[in-house]
Amino acid sequence: MSLKHDIGFTLNGVKKRVTVDVGMTALDMLRDVVGLTGTKYGCGEGECGACTIQVDGLSMNSCLMFAVDCDGRDLVTIEGLAADPRADALREAFVEHGAVQCGFCTPGMVVQAAHLLATHPDADAETIKRGIEGNLCRCTGYKKIVDAIESACCGGK
Amino acid sequence: MTPIEQYLAPATLDEAVGILQQGEVTILAGGTDLMPQSKAGRLAIKRTLMNIRRIPELKGIALDNDAIRIGALTTITEILNDPLVKEYLPVLADACDHFASDQIRNAGTLGGNIGNASPAGDTLVPLIVLDAEVELASKPNGSVTTRRLPLAEFFTGPGRTKRAANELLTAVRIPLPKAGHVARFFKFGTRPALDISAISIGIAGVIDNGVISNARVAFGAVAPTPIRAARTEEALEGRRLDEATIEAVASAARDEVNPIDDVRATAWYRKELIHNMTKRILDHVAQA
Ligand SMILES: Cc1cc2nc3c(=O)[nH]c(=O)nc-3n(C[C@H](O)[C@H](O)[C@H](O)COP(=O)(O)OP(=O)(O)OC[C@H]3O[C@@H](n4cnc5c(N)ncnc54)[C@H](O)[C@@H]3O)c2cc1C
Ligand code: FES
Ligand code: FES
């Protein structure tokens, strides 16, 4: 039997209480305990960014985070961004630029892009490329993703 | 692997060192090393898992007399954006800028990078050439005591340090650099982002009228721990940065390191990189 621990946190603006295994990742908690499957498991090692979420306003790999460390914190996942009007421009830009192919990287990419735009409102293409260094995409070749983020960034200039 | 029997998240330093005193504790900070290592079975979490993230005494960057004190829980992103670091320790900011990805920089801490004691840890080489010391706290007989150790002497092997089991790494102290102080960091990986260093180089010194004093040279990923390179420093100390000195220093560097072959690079390639990149760094400094 693995040790369990009760934690409470805010998830996409709503207070949650759950019981988790102490060795479990935040990603497994989101997908298997809470049941929000928008956040993806790619590598489980911090390399691909498919599991990116925001914790207290900062993007992190949920596969590297202990679920117990979510206690008392403010989590935003792709489901939260889907309901957030501030992310409208970003979502629309991804669609318009064809920045989505198979879509597996997309939730992590959009969460990371939202964090990037919040911290660098006037990001240029170079800043955007550096900002998504931790997000792999096997399909698009990144160009369309960078274009999409750039256009959302400057309010679709 | 023994299962975790206890999870604790102390709110004060006093409480945390008290827990360490009971023994069999694994310390958790950002988890970016601990989680993948424990999942892969490379590291067994001990009976008690202690999360130190809620201890305010371990956070923040501040001037402390003639030193800059960086709390162990300070994240790589916080170091990167800190005005004191930018002004006095740009070489550390530079190393943090080449560290993993935004997501990992937001979660990973300085204390975790030191505690993980990887020969390729990216903050270690710049901190060593800046003469950093680690601050360790413990509570052996009912009251908290601290000691300091030079970072250059802290590592004893991959994943191993001189930290005693009852000690918590609380901060790093870096003496304020003197006027004329110059420091450079170079990291080489096989791709630009998210790469573990194949080699890294830190060089620092005070330049006065073209002459170098207080020369410091350190290398990462060429030995079981990050190393300070005494013979390379000797080749630099008291010299002018002319062509002959630069070649002598670069050759001394190549001779002094004794790297291994692994997936990231062969030993031969690492030695050549150390020579060529040491030369390049010094050429740049000489031209500046
Ligand atoms: C994909 C990926 C890429 C990475 N890239 C880089 C890179 O480019 N450069 C680099 O240097 N590192 C890299 N890392 C390694 C890691 O992110 C860093 O070492 C990070 O600084 C660890 O900090 P943490 O807070 O997450 O540590 P944790 O995982 O929480 O802890 C690491 C170790 O230190 C111990 N520890 C933590 N805090 C303390 C303390 N205060 N006192 C005593 N012991 C303590 C823990 O017990 C554990 O053994 C990478 C990791 C991943 C997964
Ligand atoms: S699943 Fe977390 S980075 Fe790949
Ligand atoms: S769209 Fe397929 S991985 Fe990015």
Low-confidence stretches of chain B (pLDDT < 70) are: 1-2, 190-193
Whole-number pLDDT of residue B253:
97
Establish, for the pair of chains A and B, how many residue pairs have beta carbons separated by less than 8 Å: 92
Q: Which of B113, B114, B128, B200 to mutate to test the pocket of ligand 1 (most atoms within 8 A of CB)?
A: B113
Q: How many CB atoms lie within 10 A of CB B8?
A: 15
Distance CA A25, CA B35 (A): 8
Whole-number pLDDT of residue B260:
86
C-beta atoms of A69 and B193 within 8 A: no
Whole-number pLDDT of residue A84:
82
Distance CA A90, CA A151 (A): 8
Whole-number pLDDT of residue A157:
46
A66 at the B interface (CB within 8 A)? yes
Q: How far is the CA of B95 from the centre of ligand 3 (A)?
A: 30
Whole-number pLDDT of residue B271:
94
Whole-number pLDDT of residue B73:
98
Whole-number pLDDT of residue B190:
65
| Residues in A touching B193 (Cβ below 8 Å) | 130, 133-134
Q: How far is the CA of A54 from the centre of ligand 3 (A)?
A: 20
Whole-number pLDDT of residue A156:
47
Whole-number pLDDT of residue A91:
93
Please, what sign has the CA dihedral across residues B155, B160, B165, B167?
positive
C-beta atoms of A46 and B104 within 8 A: yes
CA distance B108 to chain A (A): 9
Domains and CATH numbers, chain A: 4-76 (3.10.20.30), 82-155 (1.10.150.120)
Distance CA B216, CA B184 (A): 10
Question: What distance lies between CA B216 and its chain's CA centroid?
Answer: 14
Low-confidence stretches of chain A (pLDDT < 70) are: 1, 154-157
CA distance B15 to chain A (A): 18
Question: What distance lies between CA A105 and its chain's CA centroid?
Answer: 10
Q: Are B168 and B136 in contact, with CB atoms under 8 Å apart?
A: yes
